[in-house]
Chain A
Amino acid sequence: DTGVSQDPRHKITKRGQNVTFRCDPISEHNRLYWYRQTLGQGPEFLTYFQNEAQLEKSRLLSDRFSAERPKGSFSTLEIQRTEQGDSAMYLCASSPQAPGSPLHFGNGTRLTVT
């Protein structure tokens, strides 16, 4: 069990550019989640997958955001036409399907939009 891995750890981009983040979950976990955390706040849910199916999306996830998990393993989160308000820590987590299973989080990708 190597834990949840996220890449890159930091990303600085100019407003209007597209960015893509990657998450590799714990291998035996079939659920994968994306959260966003801004300074001084708790994490906010964005979306989650069960295997390759995207089962829920938050209203926070505007149409500039898209997430995929094509083979039910790693996932990518893309933000198109970034805005300064997108600056945040993007957290990925995974869990087994069993009810009440805790989520295991990665170290996050910190995005700064200049």
Chain B
Amino acid sequence: AQKVTQAQTEISVVEKEDVTLDCVYETRDTTYYLFWYKQPPSGELVFLIRRNSFDEQNEISGRYSWNFQKSTSSFNFTITASQVVDSAVYFCALRNNNAGNMLTFGGGTRLMVKP
């Protein structure tokens, strides 16, 4: 069985603040993939990043960065200098290698960035 937990249901920040979204996962598999998706008010789920279980190198892409810690089963996502357009629900998701590409999603974190 696999599970994804996003303990923060809602976060509110003021524009230009940095914000980190937490994700903790459970899986028995040694090979798996982790994803972050963004769901803006329009409703479409937008793919942001994928990490495989063998790649613990953290990444920075513009204002986004990701911190994958296999030892603590965490895959956190940070937005630097947040903007109002970052307001959305963010989902962390897990797929193990034997699950036919099926994604297990966390409950999501609603991020509100106020001007």
Contacts and interface: CB of A to CB of B under 8 A. Distances in A.
B91 interface: yes
A31 B95 CA distance: 15
A106 B100 CA distance: 19
Nearest to B33: A100
A65 interface: no
Contacts of B4: 42
Contact of A102 (B44, B50, B91, B100): B50
Contact of B106 (A31, A42, A89, A105): A42
A34 to B, nearest CB: 11
Counting contact residues on chain A (CB < 8 A from B), the size range is 20 to 34
Interface string A26-53: 0000010100000011111100101000
Contacts of A43: 45, 91, 103, 105
A95 interface: yes
A25 interface: no
A105 B100 contact: no
A106 B33 contact: no
Nearest to B102: A45
A56 B45 CA distance: 22
A111 interface: no
A32 to B, nearest CB: 10
Given A42-B91, A42-B106, A42-B107, A105 B101 contact: no
A79 interface: no
A112 interface: no
B100 A108 contact: no
A99 interface: yes
A14 to B, nearest CB: 24
Contacts of B107: 40-42
Interface of B: 4, 33, 35, 37, 42-47, 50, 52, 91, 93, 95, 97, 100-108
Interface of A: 31, 33, 40-45, 48, 50, 55-56, 89, 91, 93, 95, 97, 99-108
15 contacts: A31-B101, A33-B102, A40-B107, A42-B93, A42-B108, A43-B45, A55-B100, A91-B45, A97-B101, A99-B97, A102-B47, A105-B46, A106-B44, A107-B44, A108-B43
